[in-house]
Structure 1
Amino acid sequence: MGFETRTIRIAMNGITGRMGYRQHLLRSILPIRDAGGFVLEDGTRVQVEPILVGRNEAKIRELAELHKVSEWTTDLDAVINDPTVDVVFDASMTSLRAATLKKAMRAGKHVFTEKPTAETLEEAIELARIGKEAGVTAGVVHDKLYLPGLVKLRRLVDEGFFGRILSIRGEFGYWVFEGDVQAAQRPSWNYRKEDGGGMTTDMFCHWNYVLEGIIGKVKSVNAKTATHIPVRWDEQGKEYAATADDASYGIFELETPGGDEVVGQINSSWAVRVYRDELVEFQVDGTHGSAVAGLNKCVAQQRAHTPKPVWNPDLPVTESFRDQWQDVPANADLDNGFKLQWEEFLRDVVAGREHRFGLLSAARGVQLAELGLQSNDERRTIDIPEIVL
C-alpha cells in the first residue's frame, strides 16, 4: 500500500523582490517541489504547489514561465479567498504586510512571513492575537538561526562550552552604493522612512530572535541611529532624500535561562566596508571559552588554549591571532536555512500545531526596533516590558 501525498498550495506574495525570489522561491520552495516534496515520519509525502502573486503582471508571468509554475496572479485578495489555497506567504513591502496577514488569517489561511510583521508594536501584537483566535499555524522567518555558523554557535552554548557567558558582539553590513554611478544593491524604499525603511526597523527584529535564540531574553536596549548617506538614487536613476536610518548601533542587556546577565552589542550599517570573514559575525565570550560565528563558519578558542598576549606598541605583532582558533565542525549536512525553516513550518501546518517562531516572537522583534528608535530619540537606555496577549 502506497503512502498518501499531501499537496500544500502556497500563495507567494511579493515574489519579485530580492528576498522573496532568491531565498524563498528559488532556494526553498522550488527545490522542495522539484525533489518531489519531503516525507514525514509517518510516511506521508508533503508536496508544495506555489502560486506566484505580485503587482507587476509582466514580471510575475515571466517568473512563472521561467520556473514552470502553472499559477500566478496580480489579485491578492482573490487568492487569499480561494478555498483551495492553504498558505499565504508574504515578502512584500513592510508597510503592506500587516493588512495582508490580517486578511489571510481571517480567511483561515496559515501564514508564513518575512519581518518585520508590522510597522508598529500595537499592530504586531494585534496580528499575534488574530493568529491565535483564528487557530492557524503562523510562522515568521527566523532564517539566521538556521545558518550553519549560528547552528554551530548554539551547539557550543548547549554543550556548556563557554562556561558563564559574559558578552556577545555582532558586526553586520556592507557598502550599499548610492545609485548614482553604480546601482544600489538594495531597493530604494529601504532608505525612505515613509515607506517603512530603516536599518533599525529592518534589522533589530532579526537581532531580537538571534539574541533570544543564542543567549536569552533581551531586557533593555540603548541605541544610536544614523543616516550616514543623506541622498541616494532610486531604480529609475532619480535622486531622492534618504529619510530613514542606514546604520544603527545597539547595546543590549540580556538574561540567560539560568539568570546570568550578558552584555550584547551589535553594529549594523549599510555604510561600512567589510574587513571580516563574512557579512555578519557574532563573537561570544565566556569564562571557559570564546567563539566567532558567521553565516557558515564558526571558530572557537578554549580557556586552556588561550594565549597570553603582551601589549607592546613599540614592536610589530609577530603572532597570528586568527591561527590560534579552531574550526567548529558541522557534524551534519546543513541545508539552506530558509528551506530548512520552510520544511519545519510545513510540517507544523500538516500536524496542525504552532510553529516555534510565530507572530509573538515577531512582535518582540518589532518592540525591540521601536524601543531602539525611542532610545535614540531620548538618548537613554530603555527597559523592555513583557508582551501579554
Structure 2
Amino acid sequence: MIDLAMEWLNLVLRWMHLIFGIAWIGSSFFFVWLDNSLRKGINQQQGVLGQAWLIHGGGFYFTEKYSVAPPQLPAELHWFKYEAYFTWLSGFFLMGALYYVSADLYLIDAKVLPLGRWEAIGFSLVSLVLGWIAYDLLCRSPLGNNDAALAIVGFVLLVAAAWGYTQIFSARAAYLHVGALIGTIMAANVAMNIIPNQRKAVAEMLAGQVPDPSYGKQAKQRSLHNNYLTLPVLFAMISNHYPVTYGHPYGWAILAVVMIIGGLVRHFFNLKNQGRGTRYEFLGIAFALTVGLVFFTHWDPRRATLAEGVTIEDVQRVVAARCTVCHAAKPTFDGITEAPKGVMLESPAQIRRFASLINQQAVRTETMPPGNATEMTDEERQILAAWIAAGAPIK
C-alpha cells in the first residue's frame, strides 16, 4: 500500500512540477521577449523606455515600459512570483520523494562513493545552499558589473559543480542535481532579489519618492540570468530518460556542451527580438555543437575484451541475479511494484526483445542497475556485451 501511495505521490508531484514550470518559463520568455521588442514611439511620454504593439487571440495590445517607474502607482499591479516558488517547491519535493526516499537506488552509487543515506542527502542539501550563496556573492562582487565576464565565470563554476556531482552521486543523480542547483538559483533570484527589489521600488513610490534605478537594474540582471538558464535546466529535468548522456564517462562534459547549446539558442532569439539582425551564426554554432555531441556520445573509452562462448543460459543467469528483481511480472526489489517501463526479462524471448536496451543501459552506459544496487560485475557486463555482439542468439 505504501509503495502504491509513493508511486501516486511521484506522479502528482511530477505533474505539478511540469504545470508550474510551464507557467514560469512562459512568463519568463514573454517578458524577456517584450523587453527586447520595445521601440521608441512617436508620441512617447517622458520617462517611458519603449513601447510595443502586440496581436494575439483576435485582439490588439499596447504595452509601455518605464525607465524606472510610472509617475503614479496604479490601483492594480500584477506580480509574477508564485510560478517560480511553486515550480521549485514541487521540484524539491519530487526530488525528495524519488532520490531521497530511494537514495540507495537512485542517489548513491557505491562504485563512485560509498555514502550512507543521510550523508548523501546532506551533501545534496548543502550543495544547493552553497551553490546559491556562491552565485549570489559573485553577482554582488565587482564582477557583477561585467555581464560577459560574469557569464563566463558562472559557466565555469556550473561545469565544476557538474563534475563534482559525478564524483559524489550516481550518474543519473549527478545530472538531476545540476538541474536542481540551477533551479534553486533561478527561484532564489526571484525570491531573494527580483521581488524584494520590486517591493522596495513600490514602497518608495508609496512614500512619495522616486525609486532608486539600481533596484530595477539588479532585478533585470537576475531575470536575464534566469532566461539563459531555462533551456539547460529543462534538459537536466528530462535527462533521466537518456542514459547515453549522463551514463557516459564524460557525462559532465556532455552537460557542459548542452548548456552552451541552450545558451546560444536563447541568445539567438534575444538578439533577433532586439532587431539586431537574424544572427543565424549562433544557431549554426549550436547545430555544429549538437552534431559533435551526437558523435561524442557514441564514443565510449570503456572497452573490454569480450567474453567467449557465451550462451543464452549464461545471459539468463546474469539477468536473473541482477535484473529480474525489478524487471519481472512481480518485482521483489523493495519499493518497486511493477516492472519499470513495462520491461520484463524473465524469459529468453523477453531478454532478446530488449537486447538493444540492455546494451545501452547495462553495457555501454552502465546506468543499470540504478546505483548498481544489485552489484553487477564487470565480468557479467562482458557476458551481456559478448552475447549482444554475437547477434543475441537464444538457441
User: What interval of TM-score do these two structures reach, taking the shorter chain for normalisation?
Assistant: under 0.3
Greater fraction helix: 2
Greater fraction strand: 1
* Rg (Cα) greater in structure: 2
TM-score if structure 1 supplies the norm length?
0.26
Bigger relative contact order (CA 8 A; separation at least 6): 1
